[in-house]
């Protein structure tokens, strides 16, 4: 019988799935995002798969590739990945997966620091990729006629450092020439082998001009190339940016900006050349785009992305259901493992009932799991991995004990992941200050309380004058959210509630999954302290005067005071009167004063439950 430790997990990063040769398991356990449209990404206008870190952008590229080959077995495709371990770039040993060409581009710390425009450099690299792909596929993509050989000769006349076929190190310098002659408006010009272009220097205008002219000529000839009928796709994975040094960050963001623009322009070139079934699809991180808008001239990439993007979101209305697409990832991994063990299930419900306990901490298990995620596939992989590392992993069911034992590791790994999302916005020192401010504080707090804490403990830090923008960034990446004091309703960016609210009605709350790693506890919260104090005073059965703050379908949301503390409660329509109420909105309105009795406290919604009957 299978146990928790036997369940297939996979790798947190889909690129690692390629390296470990687990593509079969990966594809079998893949769950399609709710908004995924295969045809739009392959045949329509969509070019960019846009989403936060961990939402499955690389995984979707791999899935797209598999689906393209399933649709047409002759499909040619290649991947461009990036390796940017600054100062120590090493070759990735990547094998061919399903006859794909996988090229890794390395970017050293010292490369192209002064360069401020990378569009032509990216165009050259992508043209080189197209040539490599056609060579690798024995001319199956482009017909090798005189125009092709001229295009190839121009691109090949730009010489870079020698590297393996699957690894390309972006160079500071390139040689141009091999005696190639291009047409100038006034006269023919010849590029000689001895011409050296140093991208990091700004005083070699003639050399850079020659580089541009070569690529303009190559672009002109590209229009005359002839495509075969074989589908051809290039998949470009996201390029990272880190706020380690200001000049490096600006360089990285500029490179990413110009890569996005170049991919859009080359896709337009495909369309203008009537190349059917030919496309470059690129994944981009939402937070990197936000960082571009903040730190470098954007060249209006927002317009480029918004018109051609496939936003990768995993929202789903029925958050308590085992059919939620994020939770379905977990079920798929179990099903795959069971199938490998010659056991099959009739449906998802059967998998869920066999493997999961009904509740964890008085909360439905699916809700508990989803409340500890950001609606990202990588969260589930991380959660799975954490459960596998517990002392209870030899059990054949996910019990409350397994979740309790795994939550510390899961929280720590989640914090590492989400910190990486901020690397393109803040220096390591600034990140330290941000998380020092949150660590050991309260899971729920008001804006005013946080400002008071900063004034007391971090008065000389950058938080003092930047607290508003920092909170906006923390909300956007999911570290914090909002919770309504009256209704208990939550707002999260990953649930499509854009923008943090600064208002007396809305507290700021830290995501549940980060409580352990930040040493937060419910008992530290203001509301919980009030609960504890009033429980000691035996509040149950107390008659109070309530003010109706809000009326919703089925409930009156009220406030009342005990010892000068303002408390929040709710009265169900059935508890408003001994008489039958057909329409609550006809019976009661905002501002009404009610006499009610306290029945109990609802821990889930953090409100007192009251009644107006039998007083």
The Cα–Cα gap between 382 and 82 comes to 23
Residue 590 phi, psi (nearest 5): -60, 135
DSSP letter at 519 equals T
The Cα–Cα gap between 386 and 408 comes to 9
How much is the pLDDT for 255?
86
How much is the pLDDT for 163?
61
The Cα–Cα gap between 20 and 432 comes to 34
The Cα–Cα gap between 174 and 161 comes to 8
Cβ–Cβ under 8 Å, residues 301 and 257: yes
Give the CB-side neighbour count of residue 273, counting CA atoms within 13 A: 21
Domain ranges, ordered by start, for the chain: 57-311, 428-524, 526-611
Q: Tokens at residue 436, please?
A: 């020092």
Give the CB-side neighbour count of residue 107, counting CA atoms within 13 A: 18
How much is the pLDDT for 412?
96
Residue the block writes with tokens 């309703």:
489
Query: For residue 485, what are the contacts with CB-CB under 8 A and spacing of at least 6?
Result: 504, 505, 506, 507, 568
Q: How many CB atoms neighbour CB 296 within 10 A?
A: 19
Q: How many CB atoms neighbour CB 607 within 10 A?
A: 21
Q: Give me the residues paired with residue 102 across strands.
A: 79
Residue the block writes with tokens 């004034």:
455
The Cα–Cα gap between 479 and 250 comes to 25
The Cα–Cα gap between 545 and 562 comes to 10
The Cα–Cα gap between 400 and 194 comes to 70
Exposure string (b/e) for 45-66, b if CB count within 10 Å is 16 or more?
ebbbbbbbbbbbbbbbbbbbbb
**Cα 406 to chain center, whole Å?**
23
Residue 169 phi, psi (nearest 5): -100, 120
**Roughly what angle, to the nearest 10 degrees, separates helices 463-477 and 286-295?**
150
DSSP letter at 405 equals H
SS (H, E, C) 102-146: EEEEECCCCCCCCCCCCHHHHHHHHHHHHHHHHHHCCCCCECCCH
> Which tens digit of pLDDT belongs to each residue from 345-397?
989 999 999 999 999 988 899 999 999 999 888 899 999 999 998 888 999 99
Helix (H, G, I), strand (E, B) or coil at 583: coil
Q: How many CB atoms neighbour CB 314 within 10 A?
A: 23
Residue 144: name the closest of 160, 157, 130 by CA: 130
The Cα–Cα gap between 370 and 376 comes to 10
Cβ–Cβ under 8 Å, residues 333 and 384: yes
Cβ–Cβ under 8 Å, residues 63 and 219: no
The Cα–Cα gap between 547 and 493 comes to 31
How much is the pLDDT for 509?
96
Angle subtended at Cα 316 by Cα 312 and Cα 319, rounded to the nearest 5 degrees: 135
How much is the pLDDT for 92?
35
Could you give the C-alpha distances from 279 to 118, 264, 410, 605, in angstroms and in order?
21, 10, 38, 49
CATH assignment, 526-611: 2.40.50.140
Cβ–Cβ under 8 Å, residues 548 and 556: yes
Low-confidence ranges of the chain (pLDDT < 70): 11-24, 83-116, 161-167, 178-193, 242-245, 316-320, 523-538, 563-564
428-524 folds as: Arc Repressor Mutant, subunit A (1.10.10)
Cβ–Cβ under 8 Å, residues 287 and 424: yes
Cβ–Cβ under 8 Å, residues 256 and 290: no
Residue 267: name the closest of 126, 155, 65, 133 by CA: 126
Q: How many CB atoms neighbour CB 127 within 10 A?
A: 21
DSSP letter at 503 equals B
> Which tens digit of pLDDT belongs to each residue from 217-254?
999 999 999 999 999 999 998 777 766 667 778 888 88
Long-range Cβ contacts of 566-569 (<8 Å, 24+ apart): 567/530, 567/534, 567/608, 568/485, 568/486, 568/606, 568/607, 568/608, 569/596, 569/598, 569/607, 569/608, 569/609, 569/610
The Cα–Cα gap between 294 and 477 comes to 16
How much is the pLDDT for 534?
47
**Is-same-fold flag (428-524; 526-611)?**
no
Residue 565: name the closest of 536, 537, 534 by CA: 534
The Cα–Cα gap between 543 and 558 comes to 14
């Amino acid at each position: 019988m299978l146990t928790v430790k036997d369940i297939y997990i996979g790798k947190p990063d889909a690129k690692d799935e390629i390296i470990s040769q687990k593509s079969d398991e990966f594809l079998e356990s893949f769950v399609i995002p709710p908004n995924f449209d295969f045809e739009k990404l392959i045949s329509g206008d969509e070019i960019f798969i846009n989403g936060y870190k961990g939402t499955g952008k690389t995984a979707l590229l791999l899935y797209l590739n598999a689906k393209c080959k399933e649709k047409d077995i002759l499909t040619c495709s290649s991947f461009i990945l990036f390796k940017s371990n600054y100062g120590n770039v090493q070759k990735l040993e990547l094998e061919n997966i399903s006859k794909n060409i996988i090229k890794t581009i390395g970017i050293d710390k010292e490369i192209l620091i002064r360069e401020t425009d990378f569009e032509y450099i990216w165009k050259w690299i992508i043209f080189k990729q197209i040539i490599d792909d056609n060579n690798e596929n024995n001319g199956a993509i482009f017909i090798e006629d005189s125009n092709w050989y001229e295009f190839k000769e121009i691109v090949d006349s730009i010489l870079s450092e020698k590297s393996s076929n699957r690894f390309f190190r972006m160079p500071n310098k390139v040689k141009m020439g091999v005696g190639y002659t291009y047409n100038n408006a006034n006269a023919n010009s010849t590029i000689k082998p001895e011409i050296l272009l140093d991208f990091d220097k700004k005083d070699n205008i003639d050399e850079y001009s020659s580089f541009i002219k070569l690529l303009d000529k190559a672009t002109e000839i590209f229009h005359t190339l002839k495509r075969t009928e074989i589908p051809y796709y290039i998949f470009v994975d996201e390029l990272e940016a880190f706020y380690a040094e200001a000049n490096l960050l600006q360089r990285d963001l500029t490179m990413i900006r110009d890569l996005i623009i170049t991919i859009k322009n080359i896709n337009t070139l495909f369309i203008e050349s009537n190349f059917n079934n030919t496309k470059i699809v690129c994944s981009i991180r939402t937070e990197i785009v936000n960082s571009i808008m903040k730190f470098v001239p954007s060249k209006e990439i927002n317009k480029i992305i918004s018109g051609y993007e496939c936003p990768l979101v995993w929202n789903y209305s029925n958050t308590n259901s085992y059919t939620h697409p994020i939770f379905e990832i977990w079920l798929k991994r179990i099903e795959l493992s069971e199938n490998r063990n010659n056991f099959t299930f009739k449906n998802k419900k059967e998998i869920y009932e066999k493997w999961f306990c009904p509740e964890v901490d008085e909360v439905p298990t699916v809700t508990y799991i989803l409340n500890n995620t950001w609606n990202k596939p990588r969260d589930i992989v991380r959660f799975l991995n954490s459960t596998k590392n517990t002392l209870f992993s030899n059990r054949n069911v996910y019990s409350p004990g397994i979740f309790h034992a795994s939550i510390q590791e899961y929280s720590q790994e989640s914090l590492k992941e989400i910190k990486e999302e901020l690397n393109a916005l803040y220096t390591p020192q600034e990140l330290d200050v941000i998380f020092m401010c949150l660590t050991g504080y309260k899971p729920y707090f008001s804006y005013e309380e946080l400002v008071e804490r900063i004034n007391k403990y971090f008065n000389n830090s950058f938080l003092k004058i930047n607290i508003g923008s920092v909170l906006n960034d923390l909300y956007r990446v999911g570290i914090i959210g909002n919770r309504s004091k009256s209704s208990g309703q939550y707002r999260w960016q990953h649930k499509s509630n854009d923008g943090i609210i600064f208002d007396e009605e809305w507290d700021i709350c830290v995501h549940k999954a980060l409580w352990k790693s930040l040493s937060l506890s419910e008992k530290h919260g203001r509301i919980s302290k009030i609960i504890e104090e009033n429980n000691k005073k035996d509040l149950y059965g107390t008659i109070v005067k309530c003010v109706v703050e809000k009326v919703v379908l089925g409930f009156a949301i009220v406030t009342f005071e005990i010892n000068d503390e303002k408390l929040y409660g709710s009265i169900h329509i059935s508890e408003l009167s001994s008489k039958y109420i057909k329409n609550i909105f006809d019976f009661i309105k905002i501002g009404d004063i009610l006499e009610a009795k306290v029945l109990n406290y609802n821990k889930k919604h953090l409100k007192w439950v009251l009644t107006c009957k039998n007083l």
